[in-house]
């Protein structure tokens, strides 16, 4: 598992600031600022490339399977990423694995975001609920979750659906923490008191006033949670808890490990590893850059 500071600070980490729910500048200006940095443009292009690969790659590349005649060949023009011990094309495995990694990442982060945002807003708005929300969130964050995920996945039976739910259901605390701390700032702003004085219900205040103010943060959260989900999915698949029907980057590495070729067929571990690195890195960088670009204070950096 990658090391994510548990106060969900990764976004702010590089920017040297907590993500803050300031009044958003115009979208166009944000986007321009976002793309003005090479890292922002690069990370977004990389994410798009992965997205395209996941969506359309399988249309052009045959599903890896069966037995090939060329076994354990190093990368060549015919097999860009080489072949494995069954003669299957590693490039095809990585392409098909992209789809699974992205599916799990997106779906799991959607689950985490919904739960995390709901709890975060609840904590920010209701003082009574807040004590509980904070306690439970802190407790979840301090537990070793990978062993728990392993156990639940093993019992529920490995499949893409299981992986998605398990990862999603254990990833919300980071989101809650981020949304709550920034929701608190919004809730204490004078215009919320104003809305309350005008007789707006709690539901209305939360959905109409607080939620929109934290939307940019949710975008950041989506990217960071998805990045973590990719790592989690790869980890579980590497431990043999992946979906046996679907290709996954973790499974490619596991296959290399099980057939005893990691020291010879370096291509079988290198390329899926690179795919994980690049996807997670670009999602993280994009999240960070997005956060920076909303913050006028960081203009000059």
- From residue 59, how far is each of 127, 246, 275 by CA, in Å? 52, 15, 19
> CA 200, CA 34: separation in Å to the nearest integer?
36
Q: Are 286 and 47 in contact (CB under 8 A)?
A: yes
Query: Which of 46, 48, 174, 56 has the alpha carbon at shortest distance from 109?
Result: 174
**Least Å distance between CB 38 and another protein?**
13
**Least Å distance between CB 151 and another protein?**
4
48-60 per-residue burial string, b: 16 or more CB within 10 A, e: under 16: eebeebbeebbee
Q: Which is nearer to another protein, 24 or 87 (CB)?
A: 87
> CA 11, CA 233: separation in Å to the nearest integer?
21
Q: Which is nearer to another protein, 218 or 227 (CB)?
A: 227
Q: Which is nearer to another protein, 7 or 130 (CB)?
A: 7
For position 147 contacting another protein by CB under 8 A, the verdict is yes
**Least Å distance between CB 98 and another protein?**
15
x/- mask, another protein, residues 155-184, rule CB under 8 A, reads xxx---------------------------
SS3 277: helix
**Least Å distance between CB 129 and another protein?**
17
- Residues 87-116 touching another protein, rule: CB under 8 A, are 87
For position 3 contacting another protein by CB under 8 A, the verdict is yes
> CA 91, CA 78: separation in Å to the nearest integer?
10
For position 136 contacting another protein by CB under 8 A, the verdict is yes
Query: Using CB under 8 A, which of the segments 10-18, 49-57, 195-203, 208-216 binds another protein?
Result: 10-18
For position 118 contacting another protein by CB under 8 A, the verdict is no
**Least Å distance between CB 262 and another protein?**
5
Query: Using CB under 8 A, which of the segments 22-30, 48-56, 193-201, 231-239 binds another protein?
Result: 231-239
Half-sphere exposure of 229 (CA within 13 A, CB side): 34
Q: Give the residue, chosen from 48, 202, 277, 297, that forms a contact with another protein under the rule CB under 8 A.
A: 277
Q: Which is nearer to another protein, 212 or 260 (CB)?
A: 260
H helix runs in the chain, sequence order: 10-15, 27-36, 38-60, 90-125, 127-142, 145-156, 160-169, 172-187, 190-197, 202-204, 211-236, 249-259, 266-294
For position 235 contacting another protein by CB under 8 A, the verdict is yes
**Least Å distance between CB 173 and another protein?**
10
Q: Which is nearer to another protein, 214 or 234 (CB)?
A: 234
- Residues 46-85 touching another protein, rule: CB under 8 A, are 65-69, 71-72, 85
For position 13 contacting another protein by CB under 8 A, the verdict is yes
For position 37 contacting another protein by CB under 8 A, the verdict is no
Q: Are 252 and 235 in contact (CB under 8 A)?
A: no
Count of residues that interact with another protein, criterion CB under 8 A: 75
* Residue 297 DSSP label: G
CB atoms closer than 10 angstroms to residue 13: 16
Phi and psi, residue 148, nearest 5°: -65, -45
- Residues 254-273 touching another protein, rule: CB under 8 A, are 256-264, 266, 269, 273
């Amino acid at each position: 598992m990658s090391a994510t500071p548990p106060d969900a600070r990764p976004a702010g980490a590089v920017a040297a600031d907590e993500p803050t729910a300031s009044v958003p500048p115009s979208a166009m200006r944000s986007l321009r600022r976002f793309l003005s940095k090479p890292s922002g443009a690069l990370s977004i292009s990389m994410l798009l490339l992965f997205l395209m690969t996941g969506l359309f790659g399988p249309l052009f590349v045959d599903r890896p399977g069966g037995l090939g005649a060329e076994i354990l060949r190093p990368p060549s023009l015919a097999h860009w990423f080489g072949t494995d011990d069954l003669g299957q094309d590693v490039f095809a495995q990585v392409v098909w694995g992209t789809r699974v990694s992205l599916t799990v990442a997106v779906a799991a982060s959607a689950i985490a975001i919904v739960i995390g945002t709901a709890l975060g807003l609840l904590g920010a708005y209701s003082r009574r609920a807040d004590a509980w929300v904070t306690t439970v969130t802190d407790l979840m964050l301090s537990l070793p979750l990978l062993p728990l995920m392993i156990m639940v996945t093993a019992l529920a039976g490995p499949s893409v659906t299981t992986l998605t739910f398990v990862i999603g259901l254990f990833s919300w605390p980071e989101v809650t923490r981020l949304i709550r701390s920034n929701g608190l700032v919004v809730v204490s702003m004078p215009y919320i008191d104003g809305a309350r004085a005008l007789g707006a219900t709690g539901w209305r205040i939360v959905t109409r006033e607080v939620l929109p103010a934290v939307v940019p943060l949710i975008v950041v959260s989506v990217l960071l949670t998805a990045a973590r989900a990719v790592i989690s999915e790869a980890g579980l698949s590497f431990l043999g808890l992946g979906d046996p029907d679907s290709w996954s980057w973790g499974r490619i590495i596991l296959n290399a490990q099980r057939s005893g070729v990691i020291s010879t067929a370096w291509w079988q571990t290198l390329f899926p590893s690179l795919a994980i690195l690049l996807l997670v890195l670009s999602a993280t960088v994009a999240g960070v850059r997005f956060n920076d670009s909303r913050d006028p204070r960081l203009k000059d950096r």
